[in-house]
């Protein structure tokens, strides 16, 4: 089968991709014998957070693509170069970067919008009828990509679930080790670190998601 595209949003849970989620996704794909290619937007992230203190570093700027390259060991391309025809599916790990750099949910809540470059990329996979996987907070974007009634999960958080439904989705509660599969829209989601207390808990749901996305590609 063709490779799977993995879209990252920086490097670090507070202002980019959740590193554990990203690495576990790549590990699961490799163990499944599926090639992958990482992508990230080539623009500045919303802000920079000191991961030791959790505080925003005023005046510092970092590029999403350059930061995400740390996770991908340099093997990454600008999101603008993602050609849907070359890939079987797409997966988006979570982390606050998904809610800050790929969309603005972290600041706008249920009034959020997806960044145009990410929306174009994701809708190209929808138009091609290809599967997708969304982890952690990334599923908050599903209603804006797939439209009214799409099923997805961010776990058990009532506030975020309410926002998901306000955006037009049909939120499904899901344990950390579980996945939600929307067969109509060809999309899979899992709570990951929205619920996970450690890397082992996160790994179980992520591995199930990857295996389900791969299975969808083979049908």
Core vs surface per residue 104-134: b (16+ CB within 10 A) or e: bbbeebbebebbebbbebbebbbeeebbbbb
**155-164 pLDDT, tens digit each:** 998 999 999 9
Q: Which of 38, 103, 122, 136 is catalytic?
A: 136
pLDDT tens readout for residues 72-123? 999 999 999 999 999 999 999 999 999 999 999 999 999 999 999 999 999 9
Please indicate whether residue 103 is annotated as part of the active site: no
Domain annotation for the chain: domains and CATH numbers: 4-217 (3.40.50.880)
């Amino acid at each position: 089968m063709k490779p799977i595209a993995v879209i990252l949003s920086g490097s670090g849970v507070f202002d980019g991709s959740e590193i554990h989620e990203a690495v576990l996704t790549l590990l699961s794909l490799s163990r499944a014998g599926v090639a992958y290619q990482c992508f990230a937007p080539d623009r500045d992230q919303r802000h920079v957070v000191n991961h030791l203190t959790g505080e925003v570093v005023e005046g510092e700027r970092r590029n999403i693509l350059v930061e995400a390259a740390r996770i991908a060991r340099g093997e990454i391309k600008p999101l603008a170069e993602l050609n849907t025809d070359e890939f079987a599916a797409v997966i988006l790990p979570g982390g606050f970067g998904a809610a800050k750099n790929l969309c603005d949910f972290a600041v706008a809540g249920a009034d959020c919008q997806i960044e145009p470059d990410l929306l174009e990329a994701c809708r190209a996979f929808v138009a091609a009828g290809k599967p997708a996987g969304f982890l952690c907070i990334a599923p908050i974007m599903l209603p804006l990509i797939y439209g009214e009634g799409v099923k997805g999960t961010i776990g058990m958080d009532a506030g975020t679930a309410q926002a998901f439904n306000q955006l037009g989705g049909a939120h499904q509660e899901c344990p950390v080790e579980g996945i939600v599969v929307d067969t109509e829209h060809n999309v899979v989601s899992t709570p990951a670190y929205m619920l996970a207390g450690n890397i082992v808990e996160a790994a179980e749901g992520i591995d199930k998601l990857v295996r389900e996305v791969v299975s969808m590609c083979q049908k």
